[in-house]
Amino acid sequence: MRDDQPAQDTEQVPSGDPLAIDTIDPTLYNADLAPLSHRKRKWGAFEIFNVWSNDIQSLFGYTLAATLFISYGLNGWAVFAGIVLAGLIVMLLVNLTGRPSVKYGIPYPVMARASMGVRGAQFPALVRGIVAIFWYGVQTYFASTAIALLITAVLGGGDGATFLGMSAVGWVSYVIVAAFQLALFLRGIDWITRYLNWAGPLVYAVMIALMIAIWIRAGGGLLSELGAVFAGSGDYEGGPVTAFVAVVGTMIAYFAAVIINYGDFSRFVRTESKMKRGNLLGLPVSLALFSFLALVITAGTSVLYGEALTNPADIVERVDNVWLTVVAALTFFIATVGINLVANFIPPAYDLANMVPARISARTGGIITAGIAFVVGGLWVSVISSMGIDSFVDTLGAVLAPLYGIMVIDYYLLRRQRLNIQDLFSSAPDGEYYYSKGWNQRALGAFAIAATFSVATVWVPALESLSGFAWIFGAAFGGVLHYAFMRRSQARPAPAR
């Protein structure tokens, strides 16, 4: 079967035949961007499950899940339903973007060339890379706070003079985390896979142990507190429907960054059915389990300490047990490094490689990512956190939203799930994805209009109510416009090139 022919069923995989070298443009190709042959595919459903588990299990993810139950005044079952619904929606979204990468073995930046043009795809890949690099630096800092907590619990200290808002222990911890992450990445995808495969289950094991310990200490008061949470107060402004929509929208937004570049991971999966099974277990199922554990632990802290603690670090601080502090600190570190690798390191490595493939490999892209992110994380406490940077990052995320719709509509409705893999790496004027000097101006037009709308939801007060679903609306708008513009162009005679 040729690579540009549709698969006969969902288990069909690419033959792995090499590209015709004489038609490849070296400025569009390197070994990391090339289609991954089937014999190099080692991932199954378990690996995909762990990608999502590690994406969920961060300090921020725990705080978010716990906060949803106590901040919206909803019945607890309604919150669970909203979380599971969000997981199902994200699962459906990534099944769509993951399928072509399973079929052809290509990463997200290459997939984007089909709709945006072989040169035009560089812009959205660069924006995605900037967002990821920023958050990689920030998450590296947060992971370092776990190591600092461990060091001070065992050796004491931690106070004294600071530089850029961090103590000596803080800086030592930050360097340790940055070096660990880079070393793991440089060992290759097999080492990253091993890390994710044991990190996800280990974090769940520690969370279950912590839940049991708190349940034993809280006794019958825990069930009473859980009953109060599940009863709901109904005091959310706008009513229960608005609150439910906010829960679903918030959880979808949490995964928005990974949805767009999910092909960077699905290309390592052996079959589409294994990808779908991993998505099912890793999204709605794993998300429901994680949220349940966070709820029980948070309810237990309310009984024990008189207030609901949604930050795991605050829980450990109240317990005042050295061994628990060590175990918890290591767990926080493992969990945060996991999400950093999944959401913030691998994507920009490919995105940077796509910018100048002849000179930048994914390995080099990872080193560049780590270098820039080290500066970002080092400046987080003293400079960046006080700049109102959230709106800047939200804006970059909103810019990316329409690309999802454009890619999906282009692949499924316009191309009918067929790609000419050879032309994805060719800058020949008669190439299928060359368009106008490598840029698909119609796709860029759809992208610009839809992105303007998405960005407006971040900055225009009148559209603030849409901000929770800004990503979904932006993606849908971009896809509809792209379909309309491309169908209109197909109805006209093609211009000579």
How confident is the model at residue 393, as a pLDDT? Answer: 63
Task: Judge whether 387 and 75 are in contact, CB under 8 Å.
Answer: no
What are the C-alpha distances in Å from 103 to residues 12, 99, 269, 474, 479? 7, 6, 10, 27, 22
Range name among 185-194, 405-414, 483-492 with the lowest pLDDT average:
483-492
The mean pLDDT value for 203-218 works out to 86
Could you tell me which of 271, 296, 131 has the C-alpha nearest to residue 210?
296
Q: Residue 238: how many CA atoms within 13 Å on its side-chain side?
A: 9
In a domain, 16, yes or no: no
Q: Return all residues near 118 (Cβ < 8 A) that are at least 6 apart.
A: 25, 28, 423, 424, 425, 426, 427, 431, 433, 434, 438
What are the C-alpha distances in Å from 177 to residues 15, 54, 148, 158, 181? 40, 17, 10, 17, 6
**Per-residue model confidence as pLDDT tens digits over 142-166:** 889 888 888 888 887 666 667 888 8
Q: What is the pLDDT confidence band of residue 372, given thresholds at 50, 70 and 90?
A: very high
In a domain, 283, yes or no: yes
Could you tell me which of 88, 87, 117 has the C-alpha nearest to residue 438?
117
Model confidence at 10: pLDDT above 60: no
Integer Cα distance of 434 and 422 in angstroms: 12
Integer Cα distance of 330 and 208 in angstroms: 15
Integer Cα distance of 144 and 174 in angstroms: 5
Range name among 6-10, 43-47, 280-284, 308-312 with the lowest pLDDT average:
6-10
Q: Return all residues near 319 (Cβ < 8 A) that are at least 6 apart.
A: 325
How confident is the model at residue 158, as a pLDDT? Answer: 62
The residue with greater pLDDT, 78 or 257, is: 78
Question: What's the number of domains the chain is made of?
Answer: 1
Range of the domain at 90: 21-490
In a domain, 206, yes or no: yes
In a domain, 9, yes or no: no
Model confidence at 492: pLDDT above 60: no
How confident is the model at residue 217, as a pLDDT? Answer: 84
In a domain, 469, yes or no: yes
Model confidence at 1: pLDDT above 50: no
Model confidence at 496: pLDDT above 70: no
The mean pLDDT value for 238-258 works out to 81
**Per-residue model confidence as pLDDT tens digits over 120-143:** 998 888 888 888 898 899 889 988
How confident is the model at residue 478, as a pLDDT? Answer: 95
Model confidence at 5: pLDDT above 80: no
* Residue type at position 150: L
How confident is the model at residue 495, as a pLDDT? Answer: 45
How confident is the model at residue 13, as a pLDDT? Answer: 41
In a domain, 497, yes or no: no
In a domain, 465, yes or no: yes
Q: The CATH number of the domain where 285 resides is what?
A: 1.10.4160.10
How confident is the model at residue 494, as a pLDDT? Answer: 46
In a domain, 279, yes or no: yes
